[in-house]
Amino acid sequence: MARALIPLVVFALIVVFLWVGLSLNPREVPSPLIGKPAPVFELPQLRESGAAIRSGDLKGQVWLLNVFASWCTPCLEEHPYLVSLAQRDLVPVYGLNYKDGRNAALKWLGKHGDPYTGIAVDTEGRTGIEFGVYGVPETFVIDKEGVIRFKHIGPLNPRVLDEEVLPLVARLQQ
Amino acid sequence: MSRLIAAFLLASTAAFCLAQEAPPAAEDPVLEKRVKALSEELRCLVCQNQSLADSNAGLAIDLRNQVRELMQAGKSDAQIREFLVARYGDFVLYSPPVNRATLVLWVGPFILLVGGGVLLATYLRRREQKLHVQTMSADDRARARSLLDGSGSGEN
């Protein structure tokens, strides 16, 4: 009797492993940067040419870094959520304009709305590499001490924003 | 039909010849060889089943350039690997290091091998025991003989 159950148990185990394994997203590579200080950068501002944006100046507040580009289609998908987030004024969102052209980026923002408190220009994608960016859009939550606390790869959606990003931001702001 | 296949094969090789490798940015052949060797054991994160050397994705080109620059700055292969792992995690390495997260990956096959060996051994031992039970003792033989000789009751 017990012997007859063996194939059933093996089958159940395979089902469990496949269930878990196939529901994982292989594109979501866990970032080694979580819990580490955010890379230091000093980049030109997108909107005011000549001005610079420094990561050091952002310390003392919780902020989001959103990596975006005008050529990036999924960025368009998350953009309305960022715009409405900016309207709610809960947390400053800084943009990292990744491997983009200044004019294209400004035109894109003019068309779809500009939710960013400040936008750093990373034409060569160097700062992107420092942040371990491999799929645009990506969003980081950075705390008052400048430590990366959370990273989301791919377009943001209301679920991620309301259930993960905003509660974390509220906790970090206290 | 075979002519058609031949034509198709020729056409496909033509396409293959047209596809070319990314032109190296620096001209130093020794350096390029080193860049290629190292980037072959690094994973392209955008197209995950290709190495950094094979891929022509934008990020792969950037990372190859980064590797090249680090080499020009005199960094060793190990230091460059460390640089990339610090940003992209162990995932960039095609041969992952042994640590807590990858322990199952490294030890798992050996556990399976030993477990399989133990199962096989117990199965064989049990089978042997079963075979032993079926061999006849001297008493069994005597009883069988007496039954066959017809000296028993004949009913049993």
Query: Least CA distance to B45: which residue of chain A?
Result: A134
Pairing between β-strand A42-44 and β-strand A52-54 as defined by DSSP bridges: antiparallel
Q: What is the pLDDT of residues B11-68, one digit of tens each?
A: 554 444 444 445 555 578 888 888 988 989 898 888 777 888 888 888 889 999 999 9
Q: Is B87 on the interface with A (CB under 8 A)?
A: yes
User: Which CA distances in Å does A114 have to A44, A46, A49, A93?
Assistant: 17, 12, 17, 10
Residues of chain B with pLDDT > 70, as a percent, come to 77
What three-state secondary structure class fits A103? helix
pLDDT reported for residue B133: 67
Q: What pLDDT sits at residue B136?
A: 75
Contact at 8 Å (CB) between A85 and A93? Answer: yes
pLDDT, averaged across chain A? 91
The answer to whether the Cβ–Cβ distance between A32 and B59 falls below 8 Å is no
Tell me whether 0.85 is exceeded by the ipTM: no
Give the pLDDT score at B134: 67
Distance from CA of B46 to the nearest CA of A (A): 6
Q: What is the pLDDT of residue B16?
A: 43
Per-residue model confidence (pLDDT) at position B97: 81
Cβ–Cβ below 8 Å for A129 and B46? no
pLDDT bucket at B2, cuts 50 / 70 / 90:
low
Return the amino acid letter for B24: P
pLDDT in tens, chain A (174 residues): 678 888 999 999 999 999 988 887 766 666 788 989 999 999 999 988 788 999 889 999 999 999 999 999 999 999 999 999 999 989 999 999 999 999 999 999 999 999 999 999 999 899 999 999 988 899 999 999 999 999 998 899 999 999 999 999 999 998
Q: E strands of chain A, at which residues?
A: 42-44, 52-54, 63-68, 93-98, 118-122, 138-142, 148-153
Q: pLDDT at position A148, please? A: 94
* A33-173 placed in CATH 3.40.50.300: no
List of chain B residues whose C-beta atoms are within 8 Å of the C-beta of residue A27: 48
Q: Please give the pLDDT value at position B8.
A: 53
Partner residues linked to A153 by β-bridges: A138
CATH architecture for segment(s) B21-92: Orthogonal Bundle (1.10)
Residue-range domain boundaries for chain B: 21-92, 103-148
Which of chain A's residues have a Cβ under 8 Å away from the Cβ of B42? none
Q: Is the CB of residue B125 less than 8 Å away from at least one CB of chain A?
A: no
Using an 8 Å CB-CB cutoff, list chain A residues near B59.
125, 134
Average pLDDT, chain B: 80
Structural Rg of chain A based on CA atoms:
20
Interatomic CA distance for residues B11 and B14, integer angstroms: 5
Domain spans of chain A?
33-173
Q: Are A78 and A137 in contact (CB under 8 A)?
A: yes
User: What pLDDT, on a 0 to 100 scale, did the predictor assign at position B112?
Assistant: 95
Q: What is the least distance, in Å, from the CA of A135 to any CA of chain B?
A: 7
Measured in degrees and rounded to the nearest 5, phi and psi for residue A78 equal -90, -15
DSSP class of B92: G
